[in-house]
């Protein structure tokens, strides 16, 4: 591929040197255009055409909302993923893609775009916040591109990083380089995602030589920031290594108290400088591991751009009702129906008139009242008869109520609080569904379904669902929670169980370990110290302290056990956990002392003694450590009982 100003002779020489005689630039490579020039809307129009072609092959007429949801999330919104991971799609292309998906969601056939009851932005909010969890293509595009920028930061010696460094940031960092002259569209796309990545980055302190105290984000807050100074004037070139004791590799308390505001000192003490003084690095603050993921980047982008979406009708907040709709034990299509009911997306006469699609609000079944959502499902005489025949008790003024929100609230929560049995209320999703189907039979087929038949169909469908669900849950045997293959084959190994205790907002955390042989207590330790950054940091510190203590006691033939699954994953794939770089250095040094080291996950019920030690240490509410062959004398007889077994 040559530029327009390259001379023909130069082209020939380069071809002969490389041994490549075919020129490219006008075709595609791995599904992407080889050359990005001119109108970006025309260049990426193939993405829109490909999506529309795929959607047109789906028959909306025979798909439930649950089926459409699966197709949209697994196929339609996944189709442009590869393109969006390389380039920033133009705004009009993203808009057309979202419009095509939205039309498919609301329409019943290819000729109609359907009635859009709720704005697409609202549908792209999480299920827990009242939306449907569809992806916002703009935020997803930025999250994918931020992944590319993260790789440049995380792997600076990769081939792509070296090529881009030579062209765009030879004497700088990709996070801070200024836009260059005539950059490629791929590089401009990555720069567009840079603000998103910067919003979640934090400097992970190793040696402190690469982090400026007053300008770099290294304090573990949300978002990360520089510390607050106690002084009015600060040295802009002061580096974090000046706050670390060069001999002990720990924080210099005198300097911290001299320079840093008191509220930031505990946060700094929760950070562990590298014992080997390795270089500082960046971590992504929105994941436990510190490694950037597209999922966390997407939700960070959503959070930064979140705004209030207008509800389709005025009323109290329905987010809790919408979110609860997805937790009800029923089929996916009925969950969607419950969500539509709470959101106001049912095509009743009153709602259609509000959307200027009709003139008559009268209920087609009873002909007496306006057909609101609450009327058709609860107040209309045929619907009321269904509820009267059901097992759900009716109480005047309580249920059914004149408000759809009150009725859903009663069915979701209040009925159980009032003492209604689960067996009596569990069929209500199907009752609502078949009341709506009976209404549609009257409107579209002029066929009246008797209330008793409606209830019978609902109960039969509910029972079929429960039977099918029970079959899925049946298993031949209970699987072992511990893989025997993970246990060491060395017979004379002792077992050391470790655990940590951490509370959000606390100032201290506790750790404990117990060394046993054939269930008999040999040694134990418990310790209370300053709060770690997270529960996982506390669990890791429990393991490290146990390893240090056993090394000092010259006990090396030990197999370790923990009830923290993430800790075993961390040690299995250390490269995927940059937030624990300093702790992993300590671990690798200590591991050399244990010739048969292993760490096995065990259930919490099998780790009650270490758990008890960690909780008791934290509850002591003072910094201390205790190592002995018996529990401290301040343990009560009841607390001592597990250790005497």
Q: Is 214 a member of any domain?
A: no
Q: Please tell me whether residues 562 and 639 are part of one structural domain.
A: yes
Q: Tens of pLDDT along 507-541?
A: 999 999 999 998 788 999 999 999 999 999 999 99
Q: Is 37 a member of any domain?
A: no
* Rounded average pLDDT over 101-109: 90
Q: Please tell me whether residues 491 and 633 are part of one structural domain.
A: yes
With 70 as the cut, is the pLDDT of residue 610 above it? yes
Q: What is the pLDDT of residue 549?
A: 97
Q: Are 289 and 297 in contact (CB under 8 A)?
A: no
Side by side, the strands of the sheet bearing 494-501 are 599-601, 558-562, 494-501, 508-517, 520-530, 624-628
Cα dihedral angle (401, 406, 409, 413), rounded to 10 degrees?
-60
Q: Are 125 and 175 in contact (CB under 8 A)?
A: no
Band the pLDDT of 307: cuts 50, 70, 90: very low
CA distances from 590 to 490, 547, 559, 601 (A): 20, 7, 14, 20
With 50 as the cut, is the pLDDT of residue 485 above it? no
With 70 as the cut, is the pLDDT of residue 488 above it? no
For 462-473, b/e burial (b = at least 16 CB within 10 A) is: beebeeeeeeee
Q: Please tell me whether residues 489 and 624 are part of one structural domain.
A: yes
Q: Tell whether pTM > 0.95.
A: no
Q: What is the pLDDT of residue 61?
A: 65
* Rounded average pLDDT over 333-352: 95
Q: H/E element holding 204?
A: strand 201-204
Q: What is the pLDDT of residue 480?
A: 39
Q: What is the pLDDT of residue 490?
A: 52
Q: Tens of pLDDT along 190-204?
A: 999 999 999 999 999
Q: Are 204 and 283 in contact (CB under 8 A)?
A: yes
Q: Please tell me whether residues 399 and 430 are part of one structural domain.
A: yes
Q: Please tell me whether residues 462 and 489 are part of one structural domain.
A: no
Q: Are 27 and 34 in contact (CB under 8 A)?
A: yes
Q: Is 611 a member of any domain?
A: yes
Band the pLDDT of 182: cuts 50, 70, 90: confident
Q: Please tell me whether residues 502 and 632 are part of one structural domain.
A: yes
Q: Is 432 a member of any domain?
A: yes
Q: Are 335 and 328 in contact (CB under 8 A)?
A: yes
Range of the domain at 510: 484-644
Give the 3-state secondary structure of residue 53: helix
DSSP lists the bridge partners of residue 528 as 510, 624
Number of domains in the chain: 2
| CATH code for the domain of 614 | 3.30.420.10
Q: Tens of pLDDT along 244-269?
A: 999 999 999 999 999 999 999 999 99
Q: What is the pLDDT of residue 482?
A: 42
With 90 as the cut, is the pLDDT of residue 634 above it? no
DSSP lists the bridge partners of residue 251 as 244
Where among 407, 440, 473 does a domain terminate?
A: 473
With 80 as the cut, is the pLDDT of residue 53 above it? yes
Q: What is the pLDDT of residue 471?
A: 78
Cite the DSSP H helix spans in 509-607.
535-552, 565-572, 581-591
Tokens of 437: 């189907």
Q: Please tell me whether residues 596 and 454 are part of one structural domain.
A: no
Q: Please tell me whether residues 489 and 598 are part of one structural domain.
A: yes
Q: Is 146 a member of any domain?
A: no
Where among 410, 439, 473 does a domain terminate?
A: 473
Q: Are 272 and 204 in contact (CB under 8 A)?
A: no
With 80 as the cut, is the pLDDT of residue 615 above it? yes
Q: Please tell me whether residues 462 and 507 are part of one structural domain.
A: no
Q: Tens of pLDDT along 292-303?
A: 999 999 999 999
With 70 as the cut, is the pLDDT of residue 462 above it? yes
Give the 3-state secondary structure of residue 121: helix
Q: Please tell me whether residues 469 and 520 are part of one structural domain.
A: no
Q: Please tell me whether residues 489 and 389 are part of one structural domain.
A: no
Q: Is 316 a member of any domain?
A: no
Band the pLDDT of 27: cuts 50, 70, 90: low
What's the CA gap between 442 and 447, in Å, rounded? 5
E-strand ranges in 179-284 read: 201-204, 281-284
Q: Would you say how long the chain is, in residues?
A: 645
Q: Please tell me whether residues 436 and 557 are part of one structural domain.
A: no
Where among 473, 492, 516 does a domain terminate?
A: 473
What's the CA gap between 532 and 268, in Å, rounded? 10
Q: Is 379 a member of any domain?
A: yes
Band the pLDDT of 645: cuts 50, 70, 90: low
**Considering only 8-17, 353-362, 630-639, which range has the smallest mean pLDDT?**
630-639
What's the CA gap between 380 and 375, in Å, rounded? 5
Q: H/E element holding 202?
A: strand 201-204
Q: Is 203 a member of any domain?
A: no
Q: What is the pLDDT of residue 313?
A: 44
Q: What is the pLDDT of residue 24?
A: 61
């Amino acid at each position: 591929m040559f530029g327009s100003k390259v001379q023909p002779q130069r082209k020939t020489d380069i071809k002969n040197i490389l041994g490549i005689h075919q020129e490219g630039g006008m075709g595609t490579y791995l599904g992407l255009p080889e050359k990005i020039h001119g109108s970006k809307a025309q260049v990426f129009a193939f993405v829109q055409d490909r999506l529309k072609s795929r959607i047109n092959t789906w028959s909306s007429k025979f798909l439930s909302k649950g089926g459409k949801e699966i197709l949209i999330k697994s196929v339609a919104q996944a189709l442009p993923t590869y393109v969006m991971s390389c380039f920033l799609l133009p705004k009009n292309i993203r808009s057309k893609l979202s419009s095509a998906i939205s039309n498919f969601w609301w329409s019943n056939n290819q000729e109609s775009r359907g009635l859009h009851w709720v704005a697409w932005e609202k549908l792209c909010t999480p299920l827990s916040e009242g939306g449907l969890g569809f992806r916002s293509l703009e935020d997803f595009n930025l999250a994918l591109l931020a992944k590319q920028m993260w790789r440049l930061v995380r792997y600076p010696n990769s081939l792509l990083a070296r090529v881009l460094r030579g062209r765009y940031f030879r004497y700088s960092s990709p996070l801070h380089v200024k836009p260059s002259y005539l950059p490629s569209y791929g590089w401009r796309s990555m720069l567009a995602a840079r603000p998103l990545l910067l919003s979640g980055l934090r400097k992970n302190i190793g040696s402190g030589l690469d982090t400026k105290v007053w300008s770099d984000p290294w304090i573990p807050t949300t978002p990360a920031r520089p510390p607050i100074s106690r002084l009015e004037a600060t040295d802009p070139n002061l580096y974090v290594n000046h706050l670390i004791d060069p001999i002990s590799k720990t924080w210099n308390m005198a300097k911290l108290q001299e320079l840093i505001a008191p509220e930031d000192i505990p946060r700094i003490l929760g950070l562990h400088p590298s014992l080997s003084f390795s270089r500082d690095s960046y971590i992504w603050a929105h994941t436990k591991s510190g490694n950037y993921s597209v999922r966390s980047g997407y939700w960070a982008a959503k959070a930064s751009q979140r705004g209030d979406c207008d509800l389709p009708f005025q009323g109290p907040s329905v987010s809790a009702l919408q979110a609860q709709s997805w937790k009800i034990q029923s089929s996916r299509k009925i969950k969607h129906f419950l969500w539509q009911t709470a959101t106001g997306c049912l095509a009743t006469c009153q709602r259609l008139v509000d959307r200027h699609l009709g003139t008559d609000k009268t209920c087609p079944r009873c002909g007496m009242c306006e057909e609101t959502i609450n009327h058709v499902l609860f107040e209309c005489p045929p619907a009321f008869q269904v509820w009267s025949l059901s097992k759900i008790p009716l109480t005047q003024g309580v249920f059914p109520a004149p408000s759809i929100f009150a009725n859903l609230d009663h069915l979701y929560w209040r009925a159980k609080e009032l003492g209604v049995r689960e067996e009596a209320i569990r069929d209500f999703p199907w009752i609502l569904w078949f009341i709506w189907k009976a209404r549609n039979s009257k409107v579209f087929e002029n066929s009246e379904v008797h209330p008793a038949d409606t209830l019978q169909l609902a109960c039969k469908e509910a029972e079929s669902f429960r039977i099918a669900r029970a079959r899925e849950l049946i298993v031949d045997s209970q699987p072992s929670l511990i893989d025997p293959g993970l246990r060491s084959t060395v017979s004379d190994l002792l077992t050391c169980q470790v655990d940590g205790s951490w509370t959000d907002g606390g100032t201290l955390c506790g750790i404990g370990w117990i060394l046993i042989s054939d269930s008999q207590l040999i040694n134990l330790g418990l310790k209370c110290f300053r709060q770690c950054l997270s529960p996982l940091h506390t669990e890791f510190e429990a393991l490290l302290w146990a390893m240090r203590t056993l090394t000092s006691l010259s006990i090396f033939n030990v197999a370790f056990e923990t009830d923290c699954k993430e800790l075993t994953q961390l040690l299995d794939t250390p490269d995927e956990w940059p937030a624990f770089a300093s702790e992993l250095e300590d671990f690798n040094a200590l591991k050399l002392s244990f010739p048969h080291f292993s760490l096995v996950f065990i259930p919490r019920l099998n780790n009650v003694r270490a758990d008890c030690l960690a909780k008791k240490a934290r509850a002591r509410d003072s910094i201390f450590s205790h190592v002995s062959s018996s529990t401290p004398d301040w343990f009560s007889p009841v607390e001592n009982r597990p250790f005497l077994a």
